[in-house]
Structure 1
């Protein structure tokens, strides 16, 4: 089984197009030791030819160009993307569906009923795409029960409802429902190896931590370093928790939670906001992560399991 990180940044990418925070200014000028990143997405395959695209970011066309496996060219019109799975209905995770509108037939799409309701009504992608390729939607459970993808045999998946928030456009923004945001557990049925992916996460419960402890790799929310990061930079009045993210530092933060996992578990942060100092490779915050055995995802990172 192969997992490839297509994009490792939070919404807006890095550098963000309209941001002149120290990170964005530094990466543009080349004065910081940091890599540019596209918006959060991964692809998973059992045969390295047919792929499950997990989240369709606005940067999907760039990500396809940077990932030759997603364009195998077996026919005059072709794609290695066999199906798409949505973790939530956030703009930075669903807008890329519009870029896939030339698909030869209805695009197989897996999501919870809550996510499907948001892209049917609040952000009517289902209706828009019905005038192009259309979507072949499959509702997936968010209770941790196993499911498979018809187009991708050999891929065993479990979706787990997480504590986070639906997108700002959702009528449920301030009344989150189980299924608005999920974590995805992927298992190799041959080796038994397991990977847990959760780019948006506001709280780690004891039950979720127990599931994570059974995994070989966790690829998890790295959006903000501090809860008041955006406030301190004068970029937003909202805290990380207000946006449905658990900050890395501080009491009860992501570092503290990941320290509770077995030492054999590989821990990687993804969905990193452009303001987060861990983007700077020689920053004190990056060195602190290293002391805790925590990695930072980058575009093109591959994980075999």
Structure 2
């Protein structure tokens, strides 16, 4: 089974179009050892022909161009994207659905009832798409049951409710529901190997850590290095926790939790904000991750399990 990292950045990409933080400015001026990144999304396949798109970022068209496997060209108009699964209703994870409107038939869309509700009302993408290809909604269970995606029976899926935040436009922003944000366990039925994917993660509970410990690969929230990163740079009054993200460093940070996983677990960070120093490949923060055997996901990365 194969995972293709289509995009590894947080919302806005890297460099962000309107940002002149040291990272974005340094990349534009070619003064940093760093690479541009698009907004986070992955694609998963059991046969490398039919793919499950997990989150549809605003950069989806460029990501498809950079991934020939997503265009198998079996007909005059075709796509390897068999279905889309959404982890949440954040704009940087759903706006790309609009770019898929030329699809010949209704787009199978897997999401929790909470996310489907947001996309029917607060940010009514599904209603907009009803005038184009249409959407075939598939509610995702969050009670521990496994499920499959239409046309992708070779991939076993399990949704895990996470502590995080619904989108700023949501009326539930200040009162999150269990289905607003999920992690995803992907299992290869042929080998039993499992991957845990969670680009938005505000808290690692003992129960969640136990699930992560059963996985060969964990691909988790790498948004901020410190909890006050945006505040220190004067870019936002909000801390990482206010945005539903667990920073990597400090007591209780992601690094500390990942250290509790088995030594054999491959650990990767994704959804990296443009302000995060781990984007700089020769930074002390990246060196620290390397010492701890934690990788930073990059666009175009392949993960096989």
Q: TM > 0.5 between the two?
A: yes
| Distance in 2, Cα, partners of 1:142 & 1:85 | 14
Tell me which residue corresponds to 1:11: 11
TM-align CA RMSD: 0.5
Q: Map 1:119-198 to 2 at 5 A.
A: 119-198=119-198
Q: Could you tell me how far 1:117 is from its partner in structure 2? A: 0.6
Tell me which residue corresponds to 1:225: 225
| Distance in 1, Cα, partners of 2:225 & 2:154 | 37
1:219-264 CA distance string (max 9 Å, x none): 0000000000000000000000000000000000000000000000
Pair 1:264 & 2:264 matched:
yes
| Distance in 1, Cα, partners of 2:179 & 2:201 | 12
Tell me which residue corresponds to 2:80: 80
Q: Map 1:30-45 to 2 at 5 A.
A: 30-45=30-45
Q: Map 1:102-117 to 2 at 5 A.
A: 102-117=102-117
Pair 1:212 & 2:216 matched:
no
Tell me which residue corresponds to 1:65: 65
1:100-147 CA distance string (max 9 Å, x none): 000001100000000001000000011111111010000011122100
TM-score by length of 2: 1.00
1:252-294 CA distance string (max 9 Å, x none): 0000000000000000000000000000000000000111110
Q: Map 1:87-102 to 2 at 5 A.
A: 87-102=87-102
Which consecutive segments of 4 or more residues in structure 1 shift more than 3 A? none
Q: Map 1:211-290 to 2 at 5 A.
A: 211-290=211-290
| Distance in 2, Cα, partners of 1:154 & 1:52 | 11
| Distance in 2, Cα, partners of 1:239 & 1:143 | 31
Q: Could you tell me how far 1:151 is from its partner in structure 2? A: 1.0
**Match of 2:136, SS?**
strand
Structure 1: stretches of 5+ with no match in the other structure: none
**Match of 2:116, SS?**
helix
**Match of 1:47, SS?**
coil
| Distance in 2, Cα, partners of 1:249 & 1:16 | 23
Q: Could you tell me how far 1:4 is from its partner in structure 2? A: 0.4
Q: Is the 8 A contact 2:82 2:150 kept in 1?
A: no
| Distance in 2, Cα, partners of 1:264 & 1:172 | 38
